[in-house]
Chains A and B, each alone.
Chain A
Amino acid sequence: MKETLEYFKDPSWTKIIAERIKDLAPSRNLKFCHVCGTHEYSIFRYGLRSFLPRNVEVIAGPGCPVCICPASDIDEAIWLTFNGVTVVTYGDMLRVRGSKISLREAKALGGEVKVAYSISDGVKMAESEPNKEFVFFSIGFETTAITTAAAILKSPPKNLSFLISHRLIPPVMELLLGIGDLQIDGYIAPGHVSTIIGMKPYEVFPKAYRMPTVVAGFEPTDVLLAILMLLKQVNSGTPKLENEYSRVVKWDGNVKAKKMIDEVFKIVDGRWRGLGRVPYSALKLKEEFLQYDARERYEINIGSSRDLLPGCSCHLVMIGKITPLSCPLFTKACTPEDPKGPCMVSSEGTCFIWHRFHQISKRD
């Protein structure tokens, strides 16, 4: 496996693929969209945009789980910290603002918040302090939903419940095509999510929308190869669903994981920060697991919420309508040290990535 990975990082291959992309790029403008924070990270880290012809653009869609987490869910977590419950969550979630403050600020104000690297950390914390109430603030797409499902199926301690904020990727990909004005020519589908859900959910894009779709990995060669595959589809005029990440992603995905998700969750409408309520795009615990649902266990009362501060353009950055450079706050009022919008917080947030690598390129 190690050899394979090296192969996908090999600069000589990257150069060959980049040359092929230049050869195949048509004269008209093309816009490919990915929906994964890790893809955006890879693109910036390896400077992949510099390999592309000027008329081939890759935009970032709503693929950062931290960025799309609605303020109302963070407000709920903050409410819990102020009401005698210890909230456990991933590190990135601490710095994202809810309607008024972030979990980090809530902690400074006396709320009890702990950071975990995985859900099993949360389970251990709850087991070690059985007299305290713990809530695991569980966010992310299908990739993390499976860890939550697995933890719940293992009957976690009674003092642990879950504030579920999981979202599903395919519905929002279809939404992007419906919104209009984005003029996407092809999708780079997320490798991690596809590992779980497989290829089938993307079938609709080439079939109904004539949208070339390639599931891609995260090494530089993966991403460039996906772009090359998309270009070939565009040129041939025969959109299809292809799998560049075949070393990991299978057509049916992870059948066992999908079964566990189906066993624990049902699909409901879910709010996405800045996008509104996206139908059939969120997970909720099924009736038989409601005892683990923090929203059922506690009478959370947060009132109305506010997703974006005035001037923040995260909602436009997230759908790829604008790049962070077009946001009036970017690098001025909004920086990783003092983020105003969610996209500037997470290491997978588009603004954070652009800020980080733009600063590096400026120094260079």
Chain B
Amino acid sequence: MSEDTLALPKDILGPTPFPSLNTFREWDNILLKRYKPNYARLHETCNLCALGRCDFLAERIGKCGITLEAHQARMALLAIVSGAAAHASSARAILLYTIKEYGENRSINLGPNVLLSSPLIMTIVGVRPRTLNDLKRCLEWVQEQIVEVLSSVNVGQEGDVLDLESKALHVGMADLVALEIHELAKLVSYRFPKGEADTPFTNIGFGAIEGSKPAILIIGHDAITGIEVIRYAEKEGVFDSVEVLGLCCNAHEISRERHEAKIIGPLSDQLSFVQTGMMDVIVVDQQCIRVDLLEAAKKVRSPLIATNEHVCYGLPDKTLVHTDEVVKELTERRLDGVVILDPIKAAEVAVKTALEIRSKRERFKVPKEAFSIEFYANWCLKCPQLPCDNSCPNGLKIYSSIQAAKRLNFSKLSELDLMCIGCGMCDAACPANIPIMRMIKYAASWGKSKIRIGRGPIQDSEIREVGPPIILGKIPGVIGFVGCPAFTRSRDEIGKMAEELLKRNYIVVTTGCSAMSMATYTNDREQTLYERFNSLFDEGNLINLGSCAASAHLAGAAVKIANILTHRFLLGNFEEVADYVLNRVGACGIVWGPMAQKVSSTISGLNRLGIPVIMGPRGEGFGRTLLGDTEHEWTVFDARIGDKVYMSMVPEHLLCIAKDMYEALMLTAKLCMRPNDTTKGRQIKLRNYIDFYRRYHDDLPKDIHLFIRTEEDIPLNEKDKVIEKLKEEQWRPNPIPDPTLLRRLVRGNAKIAQEGSRQS
């Protein structure tokens, strides 16, 4: 591996520093005309203002004049902006805390291998942040955009579908900046890996818990308190005497700080794990925390410490009370939990409480072998309406599994575990109060497996190394698995998809709960994908970037390709970089279990940057897709001559939904195609598409002719059949252009681009 250093160009400021709502309206229009918004009409009534309730089916328009379609766009925007707000809030929390702890002049330096440390901030905001204080400026910009976009959702504001969509893309872009700020603040302040590929492994799964030591569970996203818990335990010399475990993104964060910290699992394991009572103390900060967590914790006498103003659970604020007194109140069960807004103090309380309370709550810990599934199965009233089955959003056959458990056959319950999303609806629906989720979890294996800890950014030299194979198609694409574990089918699917893609030389990167879910998929030798595949940013490698916020590194890698490979300058030059990514970088996101609004916000940012995203079946919940169709004129400017030329229908969609993993794989192969693919590259991508398509059908894909530009694109092993198909479709060859969607990048108009390369 080369460690060559990127020659830092002299900073040249592009045309769009600190963009406002409409700065990229033209770019959005280009995208949205090709990828038309489609809505599922989830919101047929509107109650947003006092003029309503408006029923769009009865009245066709709202009382403010908004159309049904625009209202759908507005509601989608609302979800996206709230997601961006959550990420910005999280970034703000970590940034302000690290500035308080380390000073605002702390340098943004990720070492010689990551000189291009803030590609998204540079491209979008037009600033090269050198200190934490610089990040503050960037965060202020993010916050401004969120306020501005949110205000446009108000009644009597924006009502045009495309403009609402443009704002959704804008706030998604701001979301990417928030994620990068979040990551940078952590990377320069904590002991996280800074792009090193060969990160150590840690254990993941319910089986990872030893059970013999006081255990502290960290849930949430901020990383702050979790890391303070580790630091306090280290300072007091008790790190080896306690177990620090994480759930959801905080699990990634604590393992990035100390790989001995363990990961329990993704968000879907939250409730069922707390119900086991194995935790002596639970620490939460913000986001992706179940609102009924306190109730579950109470039942097993696990004290809960809330450490963020966003999630207080109605608990008393003990921030100013002496630590020992709080510990006493918690260990003596005078309080179920407390709010402590000082992370260092919260960490001290958590560790001390865990050490003291452990002996007192031994009876509330229910290890796997101590739970009697058949005992609870016998409570079943055999309700004729099957409320358990009907309440399950995944349609799991709970009733029959409980009946089988009565007969001591637990395998059916065990099978449900991989498909359970941990929502707890079955528990709530059961009139006999059977703890169904616990039964499922206890019936399943409590194994542990291996996951690589998050590595953070992609090194500059790695980008240079893989640039040519990506362009020449040896690496058919860079696939990012991000998002929540709200899968409609088995959580194994995400691992199976990744395995298929890895075997075909795709680079697979993953973050957050997707990274954890992937670790539950093992082969017959019990090895996870992390153990089987290397972790370089290279062909057939699997990279865990870290928490959800680390998705910024996925988008950042696409931006880096534009800069490192062709020296397209970044600073304040978003449109030209996005144009490069959309037309040349075969990257694609898979959000297999979209749940939180935050994911929709990140998706929106990726879309504006030119990275298509495939959602799993649950993506229907967002009610919005951006789909291409054959009616659109699929043309680009040929940058050499300025003519508008046909460039084949790629990438076909910007945001779409796959109904199952096979369709997702098929779409992945298609959405990694780019107009500038070399002939060899397109051959490989088409071969993958044909192979994935054949999982469904025996024949060639019906739309194959839409992706073939010249005969040289046709995979050699399919040449005869494809040519026959092309004849049927009266296909005509089209040369491969030097594609751009921006007229100003056509030679002769490209003053800025030329200026940039000359000066750099």
**Residues of A contacting B468 with CB < 8 Å?**
175, 272, 275-279
Instruction: State whether the Cβ of B689 lies closer than 8 Å to any Cβ in chain A.
Output: no
Does B425 sit at the interface, judged by CB under 8 A?
no
6 pairs across A/B with beta carbons < 8 Å? A178-B677, A182-B566, A208-B712, A269-B474, A274-B4, A304-B1
- A232 → chain B, closest Cβ, in Å? 17
Min CB gap B145→A, angstroms: 29
Closest 6 A/B residue pairs (Cβ)? A279-B474, A210-B735, A178-B471, A307-B4, A181-B566, A208-B710
Residue pair A178, B681 in contact (C-beta under 8 Å): yes
Q: A174-B678, A208-B709 are in contact. Are A183 and B469 (CB under 8 A)?
A: no
Within 8 A of A (CB), among B712-760: 712-713, 735-736, 738-739, 747-748, 753, 757-758
User: Closest approach, in angstroms, between the C-beta of B502 and any C-beta of chain A?
Assistant: 18
Q: How far is the CA of A182 from the CA of B7 in the complex (A)?
A: 19
| Residue B203 at the chain A interface, CB threshold 8 Å | no
Question: B2, A207: Cβ atoms under 8 Å?
Answer: no
CB-based contact B3/A304 at 8 Å: yes
Alpha-carbon distance A279/B471, docked complex (angstroms): 10
Interface residue? B242 (CB, 8 A): no
Residues on the B chain within 8 Å of A207, using CB: 710-712
Most buried by A among B468, B640, B680: B468
Tell me which of A180, A278, A304, A316 has the highest count of chain B C-beta atoms within 10 A of its own C-beta. Answer: A180
Q: Is B8 an interface residue (CB 8 A)?
A: yes
Inter-chain contact A179/B679, CB cutoff 8 Å: no
Among B466, B584, B641, the most chain A Cβ lie within 10 Å of the Cβ of B641
| In the complex, chain A residues whose CB is within 8 Å of the CB of B753 | 181
A200, chain B: closest CB distance, angstroms: 13
Interface residues of A in 280-328 (CB under 8 A from B): 280, 304-313, 315-316, 321-322, 326
List 4 additional A-B contacts (Cβ < 8 Å) besides A181-B757, A316-B567. Answer: A179-B566, A204-B712, A209-B736, A275-B468
The reply to whether A310 and B5 form a contact with Cβ atoms under 8 Å apart is yes
Sorting the interface of chain A by its residue count into under 10, 10 to 19, 20 to 34 or 35 or more gives 35 or more
Q: Specify which chain B residues have a CB less than 8 angstroms from the CB of A277 in the assembled complex.
A: 465-466, 468-469
Q: Looking at the assembled complex, report how far the CB atom of A278 sits from the nearest CB atom of chain B, in whole angstroms.
A: 4
Q: Indicate the member of A307, A312, A313 with the most B CB atoms within 10 Å.
A: A307
Q: Is the CB of A179 within 8 A of B471?
A: yes
A80 at the interface (CB under 8 A from B): no
Cβ contact within 8 Å between B641 and A28: yes
- Contact B678–A175 (Cβ < 8 Å): yes
Of residues 662 through 704 on chain B, the ones whose CB sits less than 8 Å from some CB of chain A are 676-681
Query: At the interface, yes or no: B598 with Cβ under 8 Å from chain A?
Result: no
Is B679 within 8 A of A310, CB to CB? no
Among candidates A185, A208, A308, A316, residue contacting B5 with C-beta atoms closer than 8 Å: A308
The reply to whether B735 and A204 contact each other, CB–CB distance below 8 Å, is no
Q: Does B707 contact A (CB under 8 A)?
A: no
A207 to B679, CA, bound (A): 11
Residues from chain B with a CB closer than 8 A to the CB of A209 are 735-736
**B680 surroundings in chain A (CB, below 8 A):** 174, 279-280
Give per-residue flags for A190-216: 1 if the beta carbon is below 8 A from chain B beta carbons, else 0: 000000000000001001111000000
CA distance A276 to B539 in the complex (A): 13
Q: Which residues of the partner chain B approach A326 to less than 8 Å between Cβ atoms? A: 757-758
B712 touches A175 (CB 8 A): no
The verdict on A71 contacting chain B, using a C-beta distance below 8 Å, is yes
Interface contact A178-B472, CB-CB below 8 Å: yes
B565 contacts partner chain A, Cβ-Cβ < 8 Å: yes
The answer to whether the Cβ of B464 comes within 8 Å of any Cβ in the partner chain is: yes
Is B405 an interface residue, CB under 8 A from the partner?
no
B206 within 8 A of A: no
Contact A313 B472 (CB under 8 A): no
Q: For the complex, what is the distance from the CA of A99 to the CA of B466, rounded to whole Å?
A: 20
Inter-chain contact B679/A204, CB cutoff 8 Å? yes
Look across to chain B and name the residue whose beta carbon is closest to the beta carbon of A270.
Answer: B468
- Is A271 engaged at the interface, CB distance under 8 Å to the other chain? yes
A8 to B261 alpha-carbon distance, docked (Å): 74
Cα distance A64–B1 in the bound complex, in angstroms:
23
Asked whether B7 lies within 8 Å of A208 as measured between CB atoms, the reply is no
Chain A residues packing against B (C-beta within 8 Å): 28-29, 70-72, 99, 171, 174-175, 177-185, 204, 207-210, 269, 271-272, 274-280, 304-313, 315-316, 321-322, 326
User: What does the 1/0 interface line of B1-33 toward A look like (CB < 8 Å)?
Assistant: 111110110000000000000000000000000
Distance A341 CA – B611 CA, assembled complex (angstroms): 35
* A163 to B2 CA separation, bound complex (whole angstroms): 19
Docked pose: A180 CA to B7 CA in angstroms: 20
B220 contacts across to A, CB distance below 8 A: none
Q: Mark B454-483, 1 if CB is under 8 A from A, else 0.
A: 000000000011111101111000000000
Pair B640/A183 contact, Cβ less than 8 Å: yes
Which residues of chain A have C-beta atoms less than 8 A from B2's C-beta? 70-72, 271, 276, 304-307
CB pair B584–A180 under 8 Å, yes or no, is yes
Shortest Cβ distance from residue B468 to the other chain A in the assembled complex, whole angstroms: 4
Q: Answer whether residue B639 sits at the interface, using C-beta atoms and an 8 A cutoff.
A: yes
In-complex Cβ contact of A175 among B1, B8, B472, B711 (8 A): B472
B568: Cβ under 8 A from any A Cβ: yes
A208 with B676: in contact, given A269-B469, A269-B474 (CB under 8 Å)?
no
A180 to B758, Cβ gap below 8 A?
A: no
Find out whether the CB atom of A177 lies under 8 angstroms from the CB atom of B469: no
Complex: chain B residue closest to A209, CB-CB: B736
Is B472 within 8 A of A278, CB to CB? yes
Q: Is the CB of B679 within 8 A of A174?
A: yes
Q: Is B583 an interface residue (CB 8 A)?
A: yes
List residues of B (94-108) whose CB comes within 8 Å of A's CBs: none
Task: List A contacts of B711 (CB < 8 A).
Answer: 207
Given A174-B680, A179-B565, A276-B464, are A312 and B738 neighbors across the interface (CB < 8 Å)? Answer: no
Q: Which of B641, B736, B747 is within 8 Å of A177, CB to CB?
A: B736
Q: Does B580 contact A (CB under 8 A)?
A: yes
Q: How far is the CB of A333 from chain B (nearest CB, A)?
A: 12
**What are the residues of chain A within 8 A of B464 when measuring CB–CB?**
274-276, 315
CB distance from A307 to the nearest CB of B (A): 4
Interface centre among B4, B466, B676 (most CB of A within 10 A): B4
Cross-interface CB contact of B472 among A171, A308, A321, cutoff 8 Å: A171
Instruction: Take A174-B680, A316-B567 as given contacts and tell me if A305 and B3 are in contact as well, using a CB distance cutoff of 8 Å.
Output: yes
Q: Which residues of chain A are near B748, meaning CB under 8 Å?
A: 28-29
A276 touches B465 (CB 8 A): yes
**Complex contacts, A315 vs chain B, CB 8 Å:** 464
Instruction: Report the Cα distance A135→B678, complex, angstroms.
Output: 37
A208 interface neighbour in B8, B465, B735, B757, Cβ under 8 Å: B735
Min CB gap A321→B, angstroms: 6
* Chain B residues positioned under 8 Å from A306 (CB to CB): 2-5
A321/B566 contact (C-beta < 8 A), A175-B468, A185-B640, A276-B464 known: yes
| Closest Cβ neighbor of B4 among chain A residues | A307
Residues of B within 8 A of A311 (CB): 7
Contacts of B735 in A (CB 8 A): 208-210
Within 8 Å CB of B567, what residues of A?
181, 316, 321-322
Residues of chain A within 8 A of B736, CB atoms compared: 177, 208-210
In the bound complex, what is the Cα–Cα distance between A313 and B566 (angstroms)?
12
Least CB distance from B186 to A in Å reads: 26
User: Which chain B positions have C-beta within 8 A of A28?
Assistant: 641, 747-748
Across-interface contacts of A272 in B (CB, < 8 A):
468
Residues of A within 8 A of B471 (CB): 175, 178-179
Nearest A residue to B710 via CB reads A208
Chain A residue nearest in CB terms to B681: A178
* CB-based nearest B residue for A28: B748
A354 to B678, CA, bound (A): 31
Q: By the criterion CB–CB under 8 Å, are B5 and A279 in contact?
A: no
Expressed in whole angstroms, the minimum distance between the Cβ of B329 and any Cβ of chain A is 55
Known: A304-B2, A306-B5. A183 touches B639 (CB 8 A): yes
Which single member of B3, B7, B679, B712 contacts A312 (CB below 8 Å)?
Answer: B7
Chain B positions 114-169 with a Cβ under 8 Å from a chain A Cβ: none
With A and B bound together, what is the CA distance between A255 and B580 in angstroms? 41
- How distant is the Cα of A272 from the Cα of B8 in the complex, in angstroms? 21
Docked complex: B229-276 residues within 8 A CB-CB of A: none
